[in-house]
Structures are given as structure tokens and as C-alpha cells.
Amino acid sequence: MKVLVTGGAGFIGSHTVDRLIADGHQVRILDCLKKPVHLKGMPPWINPEAEFILGDVQIKADLVKALEGVDAVYHLAAYQDYLPDLSTFFHTNAVSTAMIYEIIVEKNLDIKKVIVASSQFVQGEGQYHCPTCNTDTSPLMRVESDLINRDWEHRCKTCDTHIDWTWTTEEHVAPPNAYALSKHSQEQQAITFGERYGFRRWHCGIPLSRVHDSLFIMPTAVPVESSALIIISLKRQPSMRMAIRVAISSIFMMWLMRICWL
Ligand SMILES: NC(=O)c1ccc[n+]([C@@H]2O[C@H](COP(=O)([O-])OP(=O)(O)OC[C@H]3O[C@@H](n4cnc5c(N)ncnc54)[C@H](O)[C@@H]3O)[C@@H](O)[C@H]2O)c1
Ligand SMILES: [Zn+2]
């Protein structure tokens, strides 16, 4: 198969490219090498066997060029941040997805599968239960005054007591920011347009988001299949390498200070 991987220079995209090539597929990457993800231009990990197109998924002409002659698409290019340029999330993540489907339909392309990457953020803080009111609830954000007081727990909107987390179901949707809204739109587009125009589509939600969780929140609660990706991320993400260096230096400094005090 000939496969297009948008965002193929990024963390998940570059590993997807390697795996597809190892499995005998022909791969084309469309990536604009966005800063700050890529501060030094073309990263050394881009597989030389892949065809590389330097282009932007927000530009239709770039997508038209990239989609020509491919059998399947992994749409992994994305804008991921907390910055208030809200529209950028929709342009990069949601509008680009619509454009992929638009081009496929417009040009009657023979694309058999479209895969988009969703996010845990679509489910926001997940589902909770208030033991006092005995009701299920879905908190949006932690209150700033609680955070200043180092109180990290969510509170019930009705009785203001701490609430307990419960298992979040697949159906739960509560996007708390522009990134999450744009990712939810991608999911819905994949489902709706996939059905409407009769070609296969897959959307990945929870597995990717668990990678996110495990990297930054709860390393022990990770399923095995995600762990592999975490190890990979330690090897490739410069920011993670930097974080490890800082952590090791801090431990070394603390050890030195302890020796000095003793
Ligand atoms: N890494 C995670 O923990 C995680 C969690 C949930 C979902 N996801 C999703 O998985 C996908 C891949 O994430 P990642 O962690 O590999 O991200 P990444 O930032 O490492 O890679 C994204 C790539 O997309 C490229 N890109 C950004 N904007 C572009 C544009 N306008 N045109 C062309 N290329 C562009 C960047 O240059 C980069 O190479 C994204 O869709 C992301 O939303 C990731
Ligand atoms: Zn309550």
C-alpha cells in the first residue's frame, strides 16, 4: 500500500512511518516541521525510505499534492498546546481533516482507509461521583483558589465536598478546551464522513491519550502496549531528554548538598 502520514516527522508519526516501512508499505510524509516541535529543521529520525513533502495541512494545495496516488492516510499532524490562539486548533486539526475528506470526494480518490488521532482530552476530567449527594458528575476544571491552597481534588457543584473519580466510559464526552474540541470534531468527522462517503475510517482515542497520561501523571498505571511508546518517546523527544537531564542533575545536586551538610 502507499500510505500518507501527515505529521510524519513528529513523535507518533515518525514511529508510524518506521513501522509502515518495516511492514513493506510505501510511505509519504506531509509535515511542515513546525516550531517548537522542530527547532532545528529536518530531524535526523525521519526514515530515508519515506518520501518527504514539506507542506502544511492547512493548505489545500499541499494536501492535494500529498493525497495523490495514496491508498490510506494517517492524519497525525496537529496543533497541541494551551495557548489562547483558539482558531489555530480548529484550522490545523479540524479543518485539515474536513479538507482531506473534501479532496477525496472532490477528486474521487481511491483511498481505502483514513485514520485520525483523537485524545483523552475529548473526555475532559472524566466521570466522578459525589458520595454526599449520591450523584454522578463531570467536573470541568479545578477551581483556581483550591489550586493555590494545594487542594487538587475536584468538588461537587452542589454540596462543595470532594468527589471521587469513577471509571470513565468510552461514550463520555466533555472537551474542556480548543484542542479537545478540535479533536472531538476530528473523531466525529471520521465517523460521519467515513459512513457518508463509504470508505473505511478509524479513530484512535484512549490508547494515545494513555501515553499522554503515563508520561506526565501516573507511570505505573499504563497498559503494556503504551509503555513501548513511552520508551520510544524518551529516546526521541528533545524536551524529554532535557527533562531527564535536569532530573538527574537535581538528584546529583541534592546528593552533593546532603554530603556537604553531613
Ligand atoms: N503524544 C501524545 O501523548 C498524544 C496524546 C493524544 C493524542 N495525540 C495525537 O497524536 C497525533 C501525533 O501527536 P505527536 O505527539 O506525535 O505530536 P508531535 O507534535 O510530535 O508531531 C506532530 C507533527 O505534526 C507536524 N505539524 C504540526 N502542524 C502542522 C501543519 N499545519 N502541517 C503539517 N504538519 C504539521 C509537526 O511538525 C510535527 O512533526 C496528534 O494528532 C495528537 O493530537 C498525541
Ligand atoms: Zn455533592
Q: Return per-residue pLDDT of the chain as tens, 262 residues.
A: 999 999 999 999 999 999 999 999 999 999 999 999 999 999 999 999 999 999 999 999 999 999 999 999 999 999 998 899 999 999 999 999 999 999 999 999 999 899 999 999 999 999 999 999 999 999 988 889 999 999 999 999 999 999 999 999 988 999 999 999 999 999 999 999 988 987 655 555 444 443 333 222 222 222 222 322 332 333 344 445 444 554 555 555 455 444 444 3
Cell of 3: 500510505
4 CA to centre of ligand 1 in angstroms: 14
Rounded Cα–Cα distance for residues 132 and 219 (Å): 31
Distance between CA atoms of 164 and 153, rounded to whole angstroms?
Answer: 9
Angstrom distance (rounded) from CA 31 to CA 5:
8
Of 247, 208, 249, 244, which is closest to residue 229 (Cα–Cα)?
Answer: 208
- Residues around ion ligand 2, judged by CB within 5 A, are 130, 132-133, 156, 158-159
Atom of ligand 1 nearest to the CA of 212: 3
**Interval 59-82: pLDDT, tens:** 999 999 999 999 999 999 999 988
Q: Is the dihedral of CA 118, 124, 130, 131 positive or negative?
A: positive
% of the chain exceeding 70 in pLDDT: 76
Q: Among 4, 11, 18, 211, which is best to mutate for testing ligand 1, by the most ligand atoms less than 8 A from CB?
A: 11
**Ligand 1 pocket: which of 12, 30, 85, 234 to mutate (most atoms within 8 A of CB):** 12
Ligand 1: residues whose CB is within 6 Å? 6-7, 9-13, 30-34, 37-38, 56-58, 76-80, 92, 117, 119, 208-209, 211-212
Task: Tell how far the Cα of 200 is from the centroid of ligand 1, in angstroms.
Answer: 22
pLDDT value at residue 202: 53
* pLDDT at res. 68: 98
Strand 164-165 versus strand 128-130 pairing type:
antiparallel
Spatial separation of the C-alpha atoms in residues 237 and 11, rounded to whole Å: 7
